[in-house]
Structure 1
Amino acid sequence: MATLARPVGMFDREFEWEALARFALDAGTGAALGVVSGRRRQGKTFLLRALCEATGGFYFGSDEATDGESLRRVGAALAERLGAPAPLAVDDWYPVFDALLDLGRDRPVPVVIDEFPYLVRANPRLPSIVQNVLAPRRAQRDASRARLLLCGSAMSFMGGLLAGSAPLRGRAGLELVVPTLDHQLAARFWGIDDPVTALKVNAIVGGTPAYRREFARDDVPAGPGDFDAWVTRTVLSPTSALFREGRYLLSDEPDLRDTALYHSVLAAIAEGNATRGGIASYLGRKSGDLAHPLTVLADCGLITREPDAFRDNRTQFRIAEPLVTFYHAVMRPMWADLEHARDSRRLAQLWRIGQRRFVGNVLGPHFEQVCRYWTAHLAAPERIGAALVSRVTSGVVSDPSARASHQLDVVAFGFDEDDQGHERLLAIGEAKWGETMGLAHVDRLRRIRELLSAQGRPGADTARLVCFSAAGFGESLVTAAAQSPDVLLVGPSDLYTGN
């Protein structure tokens, strides 16, 4: 199969580009459907425009408009593509899609409709129309090799486009989700070499590419000593595009009606209430009342559900977008003061007030999440103790004799090549952002390992004990770890190498 050279200026996205190129250049007969989704500002439009430029494809960017205006716009775009002297006059989408399929009559060609949810909001029939246009044994579909790509940022809508009994269920030959950059890629993209500074920046802006280019206008911390000033000038300043972004992300989702309720749910999670009961208590509501808002926020990709490693009936909810956590934990409590701050001195004062919440409610939980991600996807297998890590989560272990429970920040399960599909416990770990870890932390992990072994957990006897710390390790712990193959110490630099 032919390949496409990656566009100049594209950072990473090799996997996504190869998937799109493979789909667009597929020489098979018959039109095909692909669906591309992902949160805003991840580079979907850049990818799709570049794909069309490289292949001579057709790109149409939808607007929030009435159905009639959208039909006029797509008619004009098609006329320009075909070299017609006047815009095509169309009053229905069936002839539009037939014309789009005709673009692929002679060769495979991508046909992109970006922000498809805008069109559907004005005309809910569109998914059914696409279904009928792409029906098997339909002449226009069979004679075309158009590769129709529907793209959107409304995650709840796009997630349902191919689900259940949706009209397009079973029609797509490609379903691509463009994710945010992980912490290692984000550090490279921002050009930050110091791992602690990279972690701090990542805890605020995550891995969204546009936050550096368009929002911060390439303003990057010059070093560890510039981080606080960078926060005040690029995130907390009322004149910065990043200032209101944490509030606006909710408005990107059309299914969110009661935004006050959703903001309150996110605020509860940002305050450290990770269970449904904890969120309900924070809001003064019954736990059962939160089923719908939690489901909607999860469908939108704004929160994730993380099952407890050892308790099937316990789930932790976490905010998926760091900037939303930062907004609710740090900015929202002093929003009026931030809005009216008119000089850098005042912003610096407010940031000093907010730093305690930043460390406790943002940095600490984010560091734990980065440690879980590193363990699951980036760590060298021999460090964790298996050829394949199957899942990494957090968990609570009961200690009946002490009438206590122990929280584990990292719990890794996996397989060896000879495990014959039987999952076993690989490692348990604790993550501390601002605390130098010592022998007491390893002793605690050993006690928890004994409890798990007594419960009969497969692999508990040999599970590795992992200490993650951004502040470093005491000399006695470093000496003990060098002599104990079951103890692993992971610092900030390790999180950025995977070794």
Structure 2
Amino acid sequence: MKFYNREDELKSLKEVRQLAFTDYSRFTVMTGRRRIGKTSLILKACEDTPTVYLFVSRSNEAMLCSKFAKTVNRSLGVFVPESVNSFADIFEMLMNFGRTMAFNLVIDEFQEFFYINPSVYSEMQDLWDRYRKETHVNLIVSGSVYTLMHRIFQDAKEPLYGRTDQMIKLQPFSLSVLKEILLDYNPDYTNDDLLALYTFTGGIPKYIEMLVDRKCYTMEEMVDCMIQENSTFLEEGNILLIQEFGKKYGNYYSILASIASGKNTIPEITEAFGDVSIGGLLKRLEVDYEVIVKKRPILSKEATQTVRYEIADNFLRFWFRYVVKYQDFVQSGYLKGLADVIKEDYPTYSGFVLEKYFREQLKERQQFRNIGSWWENAKGNKNPNEIDIVAIYAKEKKVFIAEVKRQRKSFKPELFEQKVEAIRTKLFFKYEIETACLTLEDM
């Protein structure tokens, strides 16, 4: 798959590289979840300029340094002895080379030093402070484990705190880029094809690449590709989360599985857990790991107890809903059965994801100051008043209210009008209200 998007990030990386090469050394940190394209972006930004690329695998420091020495010698045409066994020594040599030559130094999976030798960070801090004003090194470090990267660079107690010139947190592809990719690879795509790509990948570049390279453009083709023997997708959730959570992942997995199954309020999750206190676990999943997001009815106070949680990442939501829930299918090798379950459930499941799609679409328009949804328990009625999308315009006293349905025939105008009147009375009696039913046709 060709390189897509990332124009703003490329521009920023190239500007900093120019400053490093002409002025003095600069330090960039790039974070983002696994498979989001950090390495591809960094190497694209370093094209046609001298670059040393070091990948930090979790191994013995001396063995790692021996490999790094060979890479430096090959990349810069200099000499670093392969007997060097300290990364601090290699880093000091590289900074010294930066006195007489300008080059990019890329250190990938930088957080792995935490397990190999955490003193690397304080040693780098000392060397960087001493050499940066006298050298021309464009230092870029990247990492996939969000919690560790955040700690290394944003915890005031850590040695590299305050040393960076820019931090980039890479996000998934936007909806417009998803459309561009499908147009390039499958010009006759349908809106349901677009929804399937968004549902299963959430805009993560590597997942998209894996599907389009195999010419999987429809929902059925994508499911068959993902749910087959030795498929990367089957283990991907484990790799992503165990990397973040470590060995104590059991309770986190249970919470995420509960949310994915639709039990997404605190009472519902608590009931599934019995006597285990979940408040701290939920907070860590939301704040520290950024795996879930807390949803409140739009304009409600922060202290409201009317809270729902959802898994932020589309792929993880899908993985917990099907791969984790039907793990017995996976273990027994009955993958065709799992694929059939997903295909059968897809119209229902994708309807929920379609709401998220339209919220993203409205966000990309950059016209609204607040986009969310709204719900309340109506008195004497077990069914809540609930509205899928509420978007408040930024420059007008106007609100956009929409119900989302896959098919327009499922829309019930009279019921929707009752809900609109309820929210008008509660929140928007002084606003102009614009309403719509959004379907696959509107994507």
Normalised by the shorter chain, which TM-score bucket? 0.7 to 0.9
Paired with 1:332 and 1:118, the residues of 2 have a C-alpha distance of 28
Cα deviations by residue, 1:293-339 (Å, 9 ceiling, x for unpaired): 54146533432333432332244322122222222212333322244
1:116, CA displacement in angstroms? Answer: 0.4
Measured in 1, the distance between the counterparts of 2:390 and 2:267 equals 23
Structure 1: which amino acid aligns with 2:354? F
> Residue 480 of structure 1 aligns with which residue?
none
**Secondary structure, aligned partner of 1:463:** strand
Q: Does 1:244 align with 2:214?
A: no
Q: Match of 1:19, as an amino acid?
A: S
CA contact (8 A) 1:273 1:279 kept: yes
Deviations along 1:361-390, whole A, 9 cap, x unmatched? x31321111111111223xx6xxxxxx312
After TM superposition, the score normalised by the length of structure 2 is: 0.87
Is structure 2 residue 402 aligned with structure 1 residue 429? yes
The answer to whether structure 1 residue 451 and structure 2 residue 429 are counterparts is no
Counterpart selection for 2:375 from 396, 400, 404:
396
1:148 corresponds in structure 2 to: 139
The aligned counterpart of 1:184 is 176
Shift of 1:146: 1.2
Q: Give the aligned partner of residue 195 of structure 2.
A: 199
Distance change >3 Å, CA 460–CA 279, structure 1 → 2: farther
User: Residue 375 in 1 paired to residue 362 in 2?
Assistant: yes
Q: Which residue pairs with 1:366 in the alignment?
A: 353
The CA distance in 2 between the partners of 1:450 and 1:275, in whole Å, is 25
Residue among 390, 404, 427 paired with 1:411: 390
The higher-RCO structure (CA 8 Å, 6+ apart) is 2
Conserved in 2, the CA contact under 8 Å of 1:269 and 1:318?
yes
8 A contact 2:369–2:394 mirrored in 1: yes
Structure-2 change in CA distance of 1:296 and 1:450 (3 Å)? closer
Structure 1 contact 38–152 (Cα < 8 Å) conserved: yes
Corresponding residue number in structure 2 for 1:483: none
The residue number in structure 2 matching 1:40 is 34
Aligned CA distance change for structure 1 residues 404 and 326 (closer, same or farther; 3 Å):
closer
Report the equivalent of 1:282: 272
Once the two structures are superposed, the pairs formed by residues 131-280 of structure 1 within 5 Å of their partners are 131-135=125-129, 138=130, 140-165=131-156, 166-190=158-182, 191-192=185-186, 193-213=189-209, 215-216=210-211, 218-221=213-216, 227-231=219-223, 233-253=224-244, 255-280=245-270
Instruction: Give the letter aligned to residue 291 of structure 2.
Output: L
Offset of 1:181 from its aligned partner? 1.2
AA at the equivalent of 1:235 = M
Letter in 1 for 2:273: L
Alpha carbons of structure 1 residues 283 and 47: separation in structure 2 relative to 1, 3 Å: same
Once residues 188 and 41 of structure 1 are traced to their aligned partners in structure 2, the CA distance between those partners, rounded to angstroms, is 19
1:237 and 1:93 mapped to 2: Cα distance?
Answer: 41
Aligned pair partner of 1:351 in 321, 328, 339: 339
Unpaired runs of 5+ residues, structure 2, are none
Partners of 1:91 and 1:181 in 2: how far apart?
40
1:319 to 311, 317, 321: 311
2:3 corresponding residue in structure 1 = 10
> Per the alignment, in what secondary structure is the counterpart of residue 154 of structure 2?
coil
Asked if the contact 1:34–1:175 (Cα under 8 Å) also holds between the matched residues in 2, the reply is yes
**Corresponding residue for 2:431?**
461
2:393, 2:400 within 8 Å by CA — same for their partners in 1?
A: no
Shift in alpha-carbon separation, 1:57–1:222, aligned structure 2, 3 A: closer
> What is the RMSD computed on CA atoms of the aligned residues?
2.9
Q: State how far apart, in whole Å, the 1-side matches of 2:203 and 2:125 are.
A: 35
3-state secondary structure, aligned to 1:464: strand
Give the Cα separation in 1 of the matches to 2:338 and 2:27. Answer: 51
2: distance between equivalents of 1:469 and 1:441? 17
The 8 Å contact of residues 391 and 414 in structure 1, kept in 2 or not, is answered as yes
Alignment of 1:477-488 (within 5 A): none
2:50 pairs with 1:60: no
Change (3 A) 1:181 1:102: same
Distance (Å, rounded) in 1 between the aligned partners of 2:72 and 2:113 = 17
The 1:85/1:31 distance shift into structure 2, 3 A limit, reads closer
Does the CA-based 8 Å contact 1:269-1:317 persist in structure 2? yes
What amino acid maps onto 2:8 in structure 1? F
Amino acid paired to 2:5: D
CA contact 1:103–1:109 (8 Å) conserved in 2: no
**TM-score, L = length of structure 1:** 0.78
* 1:141-174 deviations in Å (ceiling 9; x for gaps): 2201212111111111122232231322222111
257 and 358 in structure 1: CA distance in 2 versus 1, 3 angstrom threshold: farther
Deviation readout 1:226-272 (Å, 9 max, x if unpaired): x32541x212212322232233321332x433222222111111011
Cα distance in 2 for partners of 1:428, 1:161 equals: 43
1:465 partner letter = T
Note if contact 2:285-2:292 (Cα within 8 Å) is conserved in structure 1. no
- Does structure 1 retain, via aligned residues, the 8 Å contact 2:295–2:310? yes
TM-superposed CA distance for 1:176, in Å, is 0.7
User: Contact 2:65–2:82 (CA<8 Å) still a contact in 1?
Assistant: no
Describe the shift of the 1:103–1:25 C-alpha distance in structure 2 as closer, same or farther (beyond 3 A): farther
Residue of structure 2 in register with 1:482 after alignment: none
